[in-house]
């Protein structure tokens, strides 16, 4: 029970850098990370570094920039953002491979048991957006819009990666409740946002006598936590629903979240519709977080017998 109550605070501490990401079996942000033959690591996460896996990684390999070379086995997924990924002929990836804004080379003989999601370069994305919205936007504005969207995409990608790794069960459970109880969730989210706005205004007025400052700060922090967790749940829900619409039954949490993030980023570029879509996402996100108490219960408001 205590674990459920502390869940939102754990998220906050993690985002503030107080919750340690790496364990004794994880490698993070070194100049070069090598998992040699016969060695094993839990996770390998690198920022601007080169990764070489010849042994075994029990979970995921993630790189932002740099390169990833796999000649051994990765039990989880391989994720590269702006990275050069090379899968050797002896490599075995038990889940998915994601390459966004980088390069992907797969040698004959490599095994990928999950999905492969590949966005070759940012120029390809820019070209797609120009063609898709050439009648709506002036071409001169596309690069600026693209840069902003890529930055937002990158931030949400990191947040989704962190939240998904920490709370996979809570995310999948909360997502399952959206289809099951959509309108109750929507109603709770709508009322919650109205009540929240009222509390923020009241706390702002109390700031004139200082007593409202801690309340205002607490409300802002709480809103950030709810917004982040709720959005990750929705990204998973949208990605999973999209894949199932094409007949595929199973998809990993990380793959669904990334796919959902791509879909949301594209839809939000559309004038008016993008704004309404974002508003609906916020309402449903608040509703599912509050109704399920961060994915820990089916209905927080149900009377206990």
Query: How far apart are alpha carbons 132 and 271 in whole angstroms?
Result: 13
Mean pLDDT (the chain, rounded): 77
Give the CA angle between residues 83, 150, 243 to the nearest 5°.
Answer: 80
Joined together, the tokens standing for residue 166 give: 């920490």
Judge whether 29 and 46 are in contact, CB under 8 Å.
Answer: yes
- Choose among 63, 124, 66, 126: nearest CA to 98: 63
Return the residue matching tokens 């967790």.
229
Q: What is the pLDDT of residues 124-135, one digit of tens each?
A: 554 544 454 444
Query: How far apart are alpha carbons 106 and 252 in whole angstroms?
Result: 21
Return the residue matching tokens 């400052």.
213
4-8, 42-46, 99-103: range with lowest mean pLDDT: 4-8
User: Structure pTM?
Assistant: 0.58
Going by pLDDT thresholds of 50, 70 and 90, the confidence category of residue 305 is low
Q: In what order do the strands lie in the sheet with 43-47?
A: 26-28, 43-47, 61-64, 78-81, 97-100, 116-119
* Local structure of residue 251 (DSSP, 8 states): -
In the chain, domain spans: 10-119, 123-292
Average pLDDT over residues 169-186: 90
Average pLDDT over residues 29-47: 80
Query: How far apart are alpha carbons 295 and 46 in whole angstroms?
Result: 29
User: 283 pLDDT exceeds 50?
Assistant: yes
User: 31 pLDDT exceeds 90?
Assistant: no
Q: What is the pLDDT of residues 237-252, one digit of tens each?
A: 998 888 877 766 667 7
DSSP character string of 95-130: S-EEEESSEEEE-TT-EE-S-EEEE--HHHHHHHHH
């Amino acid at each position: 029970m205590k674990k459920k109550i502390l869940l939102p605070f754990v998220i906050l501490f993690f985002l503030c850098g107080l919750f340690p990401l790496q364990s004794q079996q994880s490698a993070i942000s070194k100049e070069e990370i090598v998992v040699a033959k016969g060695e094993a690591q839990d996770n390998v996460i690198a920022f601007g570094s080169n990764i070489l896996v010849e042994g075994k990684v029990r979970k995921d390999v993630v790189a932002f920039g740099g390169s990833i070379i796999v000649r051994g086995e990765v039990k989880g997924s391989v994720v590269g953002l702006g990275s050069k990924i090379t899968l050797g002929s002896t490599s075995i990836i038990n889940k998915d491979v994601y390459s966004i804004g980088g390069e992907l080379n797969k040698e004959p003989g490599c095994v990928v048991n999950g999905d492969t999601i590949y966005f070759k370069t940012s120029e390809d994305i820019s070209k797609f957006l120009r063609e898709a919205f050439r009648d709506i936007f002036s071409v001169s504005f596309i690069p600026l819009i693209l840069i902003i969207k890529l930055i937002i995409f990158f931030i949400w990608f990191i947040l989704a990666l962190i939240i998904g790794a920490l709370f996979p069960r809570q995310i999948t459970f909360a997502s399952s409740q959206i289809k099951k109880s959509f309108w109750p969730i929507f109603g709770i989210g709508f009322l919650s946002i109205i009540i929240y706005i009222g509390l923020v205004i009241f706390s702002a007025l109390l700031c004139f006598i200082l007593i409202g400052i801690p309340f205002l700060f607490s409300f802002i922090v709480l809103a950030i936590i709810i917004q982040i967790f709720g959005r990750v749940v929705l990204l998973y829900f949208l990605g999973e629903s999209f894949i199932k619409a094409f007949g595929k039954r199973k998809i990993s949490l990380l793959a669904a979240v990334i796919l959902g993030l791509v879909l949301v980023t594209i839809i939000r570029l559309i004038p008016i519709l993008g704004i309404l879509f974002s508003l609906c996402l916020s309402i449903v996100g608040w509703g599912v977080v509050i109704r399920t108490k961060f994915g820990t219960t089916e209905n927080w408001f149900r009377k206990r017998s």
